Amino acid sequence: MVSFRDSSVVIIECGRTLIRAGIGLQDLLKAPSIEIQARVGLRRSPGDTTNGRSSLRPSEGGENLRPSASSSRASSLPCHPSPSAKVNDYLIGSQLDEALEAGQDIIVSWPFSDGDVRDWTQAEALWKYVLFNTLQLKRTQNESPAMLSMPAGLFRESSQRICQIFFERFNVAGFGLLDRPVAQLYAAGQLNGIVIDVGHEITDITPMYDGFIMNHARSSTPLGIRDCQVYLANLLRSNQSVMTAASPPDNPSSTDVTQRFLDDLVKHIWEEGLVRVPSDGQTAEIPEDEGVTDIAAVLVAGKEKAVIETGMKKKLTAKASAAEQARAREIEALDLVTVQFRDHSITLGKERHRFCEPLFDPTLLNGLSVERAEPYEGRILPLQEAVGFAVRQADVAQRQYIWQGLFVTGDLTNHVKGIGAALQSRLAPFILSSPDQATEFQSRSIRVLNVPEYFAEYREKGDGLAAFLGTSIVAKIAFNESHGKNFVSKTDYNEKGPHAVIEMSPSLL
């Protein structure tokens, strides 16, 4: 029997562009303590002619989705293998940030951006940095088991090589491997559903039934945060307050400087939670207070501070003059907000709520500069069509269960609210509309999932951390299991080698 202390368990969530990690599993599962970009840097040697891009800009990225059961997962983020480079040659995290900030000649690579492992030395460098630099583990005294979640669809050879690296390079005490969509749906407490993971340049769409990924229906669409940023930056060119700050009339900025200002402002806007996503055919509205406060519900939800602030605001408004109240109503109707950005006070209106429109209508990007990984033919499917198409690849009897678990996750959902409901409203044409045509197998509704509020550490952080939460849940169950069938122990590895990870990970079978 193998048993581990919860405090020693390591959780690593590895996405296309971000890695999150933490150590220790308490009863109330903790949010990740570490988050770094999943990129490495290598100082350019004399004679190296590699054309490396050094930063993640909104114009980078993309892939093609056609109406078929599978799609390309190619990323435009660069990856430059260097046969002579060793693990310790790569700059990661703050080291890389500082080198780029200092203007050093650095070749930057993103080894996971295609959804698999593009370069094994770079991948090992990232995992080693997380374990030994940030989590402060000691290789020779490593008593920690590690649960790693990776993008779905890894080749079996990749899974085995990952297992080998963790045992032979990192000396872990046990190892488990999990598909990210499985972890994400587990975090929402479901076994059936469809996970829509909105990334920087690619949105992964993964239908699941009875806890297993339906690989024949899994797909991706080349739409993501990058496209939304490009679109809103273009809209803000019509905002006089924004353009005055970006390029002052008395001292105009160059085109490049102005564009960089707009790009950074847009990133600031959505990361500060200033964007809401209206449902199809609606405008974003602020719900009115019903006049009755359920104190117990407020305390359970951890929203007492927001309620107090709202009450204070109402008292101040009641004391304001008629003119002041009229002006406040006017501002509320216009939905204006003032942000402080780079020593500028900038007023934004409802245009900020149009941030996610390209996800649902990619034609809005026509004429805008959005780099794609490869040329494509035909049109890019809107998110609702890509999701509807994926569900239709499932058996008719399974679809009603999948539609009861629509889960939109990804980094965007940590800050931007309402994407799930907005997508739900646009998916209505894909389910039964006429009761006269109903059969026992046909779907009548779509249910939007969220991370349950009883996970206190995740309550105010949105659904973007679902993969880490789900990985933690699986780790807590697997590493406390008496028979150890859902992870690889050192004994298993010594007896069976890297292939043990296939037998010990049900989702990989």
* pLDDT for 224 beyond 50: yes
Q: Which of the given ranges, 118-127, 455-464, 484-493, has the highest pLDDT on average? A: 118-127
**Amino acid residing at 470:** G
- What is the distance between the alpha carbons of residues 156 and 218, in angstroms, rounded to a whole number? 17
Question: For residue 232, what pLDDT band results from cuts at 50, 70 and 90?
Answer: very high
Q: What does residue 267 show for φ and ψ, rounded to 5 degrees?
A: -60, -40
What pLDDT does 311 receive?
59
Residue 68 scores a pLDDT above 80: no
| Contact call for residues 450 and 188 (beta carbons, < 8 A) | yes
462 burial type by CB count under 10 A (0-12 exposed, 13-18 middle, 19+ buried): buried
* Nearest-angstrom CA–CA distance, 348 and 341: 12
Closest C-alpha among 481, 469, 483 to residue 178: 469
Of the ranges 40-44, 46-50, 264-268, 382-386, which one carries the lowest mean pLDDT score? 46-50
**Residue 258 has which token pair?**
């102005």
Provide the token pair at 44. Answer: 């350019």
Residue where the block lists tokens 């519900």: 297
pLDDT at 402 over 70: yes
**Distance in angstroms (rounded) separating the CA atoms of residues 162 and 48:** 29
Query: What is the residue type of 85?
Result: A
For domain 6-96+106-222+452-508, the CATH class is alpha beta
Token pair, residue 265, equals 């402002």
CB 201 within 8 A of CB 222: yes
The pTM of this model reads 0.84
User: Residue 93 corresponds to which tokens in the numbers above?
Assistant: 């995290």
Strands 406-409 and 488-489: unpaired
CA neighbor of 4 nearest in space, from 378, 489, 454: 489
What is the chain's length? Answer: 509
Higher pLDDT, 252 or 305: 252
**Domain limits of the chain?**
6-96+106-222+452-508, 285-334
Q: What share of the chain is helix, strand, coil (3-state, %, to 5)?
A: 40, 15, 45
The predicted structure's pLDDT at residue 299: 43
Which tokens is 297 given?
A: 């519900």
- What does pLDDT average to over the chain? 84
**Amino acid at site 207:** P
DSSP-assigned letters across all residues of 203-227: EEEEEEETTEE-GGG-EEES-SHHH
What whole-number distance in Å separates Cα of residue 208 and Cα of residue 215?
Answer: 9
**pLDDT tens readout for residues 310-357:** 555 655 656 667 777 776 666 666 788 999 999 999 999 999 999 999
